[in-house]
Amino acid sequence: MMVTNALGVFVFITALIVAEGSWGSGKTGNSYSFDLSKKDDLTKLYNSKVYKAERMTRPLDGQSRERGILSHSGVRVTLADGTKWLVHKGDGYGISSQTVVVDARHMSNTWTIRETKNFGGSKTVSDFVKAGGTNYSLLFNNCHNAAGRMMDD
Protein backbone atom coordinates (compact mmCIF):
# COMPACT_ATOMS: atom_id res chain seq x y z
CA MET A 1 0.00 0.00 0.00
CA MET A 2 2.78 2.43 0.91
CA VAL A 3 4.61 1.66 -2.37
CA THR A 4 1.41 2.35 -4.31
CA ASN A 5 0.93 5.69 -2.54
CA ALA A 6 4.57 6.66 -3.11
CA LEU A 7 4.28 5.77 -6.79
CA GLY A 8 1.07 7.78 -7.04
CA VAL A 9 2.73 10.81 -5.47
CA PHE A 10 5.72 10.45 -7.82
CA VAL A 11 3.45 10.26 -10.89
CA PHE A 12 1.46 13.25 -9.67
CA ILE A 13 4.56 15.32 -8.93
CA THR A 14 6.11 14.51 -12.30
CA ALA A 15 2.89 15.45 -14.11
CA LEU A 16 2.63 18.74 -12.25
CA ILE A 17 6.23 19.74 -12.83
CA VAL A 18 6.02 18.97 -16.54
CA ALA A 19 2.67 20.70 -16.96
CA GLU A 20 3.31 23.86 -15.01
CA GLY A 21 6.89 24.27 -13.86
CA SER A 22 6.89 26.29 -10.64
CA TRP A 23 5.14 29.33 -9.24
CA GLY A 24 5.87 31.56 -6.30
CA SER A 25 4.59 30.64 -2.88
CA GLY A 26 2.83 32.64 -0.23
CA LYS A 27 -0.47 34.38 0.15
CA THR A 28 -2.34 35.53 -2.92
CA GLY A 29 -5.36 37.50 -1.80
CA ASN A 30 -6.90 35.34 0.90
CA SER A 31 -5.91 31.93 -0.46
CA TYR A 32 -2.66 29.99 -0.24
CA SER A 33 -0.62 29.55 -3.39
CA PHE A 34 1.29 26.26 -3.55
CA ASP A 35 4.91 26.36 -4.69
CA LEU A 36 4.78 23.39 -7.04
CA SER A 37 8.56 23.14 -7.22
CA LYS A 38 8.54 21.98 -3.58
CA LYS A 39 7.68 18.35 -2.86
CA ASP A 40 5.94 19.20 0.43
CA ASP A 41 3.58 21.62 -1.32
CA LEU A 42 2.90 19.09 -4.07
CA THR A 43 2.06 16.47 -1.46
CA LYS A 44 -0.25 18.94 0.32
CA LEU A 45 -2.03 19.70 -2.94
CA TYR A 46 -2.29 16.00 -3.79
CA ASN A 47 -3.88 15.31 -0.38
CA SER A 48 -6.13 18.40 -0.35
CA LYS A 49 -9.85 17.79 0.04
CA VAL A 50 -12.10 18.75 -2.86
CA TYR A 51 -15.30 20.54 -1.94
CA LYS A 52 -16.69 21.33 -5.38
CA ALA A 53 -16.00 19.88 -8.81
CA GLU A 54 -17.10 21.25 -12.17
CA ARG A 55 -16.91 19.17 -15.34
CA MET A 56 -15.96 21.62 -18.06
CA THR A 57 -15.37 21.65 -21.80
CA ARG A 58 -13.67 23.99 -24.24
CA PRO A 59 -13.02 24.04 -27.99
CA LEU A 60 -10.03 22.05 -29.21
CA ASP A 61 -6.84 24.06 -29.72
CA GLY A 62 -7.11 26.14 -32.86
CA GLN A 63 -10.92 25.93 -32.97
CA SER A 64 -13.26 28.83 -32.25
CA ARG A 65 -16.15 26.74 -30.92
CA GLU A 66 -16.97 23.31 -29.59
CA ARG A 67 -18.32 20.69 -31.96
CA GLY A 68 -19.78 17.92 -29.81
CA ILE A 69 -17.12 15.42 -28.84
CA LEU A 70 -14.63 17.46 -30.84
CA SER A 71 -13.82 19.43 -27.72
CA HIS A 72 -11.62 19.09 -24.65
CA SER A 73 -12.88 18.11 -21.16
CA GLY A 74 -11.52 18.55 -17.68
CA VAL A 75 -12.67 18.95 -14.10
CA ARG A 76 -12.06 22.13 -12.15
CA VAL A 77 -11.86 21.37 -8.43
CA THR A 78 -12.27 23.85 -5.59
CA LEU A 79 -10.38 23.25 -2.35
CA ALA A 80 -11.26 24.35 1.21
CA ASP A 81 -9.24 27.57 0.83
CA GLY A 82 -11.13 28.50 -2.34
CA THR A 83 -8.25 27.79 -4.73
CA LYS A 84 -9.22 26.13 -8.00
CA TRP A 85 -7.26 23.56 -9.98
CA LEU A 86 -7.97 21.97 -13.35
CA VAL A 87 -7.49 18.21 -13.55
CA HIS A 88 -7.43 17.10 -17.18
CA LYS A 89 -6.03 14.48 -19.50
CA GLY A 90 -4.46 14.65 -22.92
CA ASP A 91 -2.02 12.87 -25.17
CA GLY A 92 1.48 14.04 -24.24
CA TYR A 93 0.35 16.13 -21.25
CA GLY A 94 2.73 14.49 -18.78
CA ILE A 95 5.68 12.13 -18.59
CA SER A 96 4.54 9.28 -16.35
CA SER A 97 0.85 10.19 -16.44
CA GLN A 98 -1.33 11.83 -19.06
CA THR A 99 -3.61 13.26 -16.35
CA VAL A 100 -2.24 16.51 -14.97
CA VAL A 101 -3.23 19.23 -12.51
CA VAL A 102 -2.80 22.92 -13.35
CA ASP A 103 -3.69 26.10 -11.55
CA ALA A 104 -7.14 27.14 -12.83
CA ARG A 105 -5.88 30.71 -13.20
CA HIS A 106 -4.26 29.49 -16.43
CA MET A 107 -7.61 28.49 -17.97
CA SER A 108 -8.85 30.51 -20.93
CA ASN A 109 -12.30 32.06 -20.98
CA THR A 110 -13.46 29.47 -23.53
CA TRP A 111 -14.21 26.83 -20.86
CA THR A 112 -17.90 26.12 -20.18
CA ILE A 113 -19.29 24.44 -17.06
CA ARG A 114 -21.30 21.31 -17.95
CA GLU A 115 -21.90 19.75 -14.52
CA THR A 116 -21.29 20.75 -10.92
CA LYS A 117 -21.08 18.48 -7.87
CA ASN A 118 -20.55 19.22 -4.21
CA PHE A 119 -18.16 16.62 -2.81
CA GLY A 120 -17.97 18.27 0.62
CA GLY A 121 -14.39 17.15 1.16
CA SER A 122 -15.15 13.46 0.58
CA LYS A 123 -12.55 13.24 -2.23
CA THR A 124 -8.99 14.51 -2.60
CA VAL A 125 -7.14 15.89 -5.60
CA SER A 126 -5.33 12.54 -5.78
CA ASP A 127 -8.69 10.76 -6.20
CA PHE A 128 -9.40 12.90 -9.26
CA VAL A 129 -5.93 12.27 -10.72
CA LYS A 130 -6.28 8.52 -10.16
CA ALA A 131 -9.76 8.52 -11.74
CA GLY A 132 -8.28 10.30 -14.78
CA GLY A 133 -5.79 7.50 -15.24
CA THR A 134 -2.21 7.42 -16.43
CA ASN A 135 -2.61 6.28 -20.05
CA TYR A 136 -4.32 8.08 -22.92
CA SER A 137 -6.26 6.52 -25.78
CA LEU A 138 -8.19 8.66 -28.26
CA LEU A 139 -11.01 6.12 -28.57
CA PHE A 140 -11.20 4.43 -25.17
CA ASN A 141 -9.47 6.58 -22.53
CA ASN A 142 -9.61 10.21 -23.60
CA CYS A 143 -10.29 13.48 -21.77
CA HIS A 144 -14.09 12.99 -21.90
CA ASN A 145 -13.86 9.49 -20.40
CA ALA A 146 -11.49 10.76 -17.69
CA ALA A 147 -13.68 13.74 -16.77
CA GLY A 148 -16.70 11.44 -16.50
CA ARG A 149 -14.86 9.08 -14.14
CA MET A 150 -13.66 11.99 -12.03
CA MET A 151 -17.23 13.19 -11.49
CA ASP A 152 -18.50 9.80 -10.33
CA ASP A 153 -19.35 9.62 -6.64
Q: What is the number of domains present in the chain?
A: 1
Percent of the chain with pLDDT over 70: 76
Residue 42 banded pLDDT, cuts 50, 70, 90: confident
- Flag whether pLDDT at 2 surpasses 50: no
Mean pLDDT of the 87-106 span = 93
- Mean pLDDT, residues 112-119 taken together: 98
pLDDT at 80 over 60: yes
Q: Report the C-alpha gap between 59 and 115 in whole angstroms.
A: 17
Domain of 102?
2-23+30-151
- Residue 41: which pLDDT band, with cuts at 50, 70 and 90? confident
Distance of CA 115 to the CA centre of its chain: 16
pLDDT at position 54 over 70: yes
Please tell me the distance from the alpha carbon of residue 27 to that of residue 30, in angstroms, as a whole number: 7
As a dihedral over the C-alpha atoms of residue 24, residue 36, residue 105, residue 66, rounded to 10 degrees, the angle is 150
Residue 33: per-residue pLDDT: 61
CB atoms within 10 A of CB 125: 20
- Entry pTM: 0.79
Tell whether the model's pLDDT for residue 56 goes beyond 70.
yes
Question: Could you tell me which residue, 81 or 13, shows the higher pLDDT?
Answer: 81
pLDDT of 9 strictly over 60: no
Say which DSSP state 38 is in: S
pLDDT of 10 higher than 60: no
Mean pLDDT of 11-21: 41
In this prediction, residue 72 has a pLDDT band, given cuts at 50, 70 and 90, of very high
Distance CA 72, CA 11 (A): 22
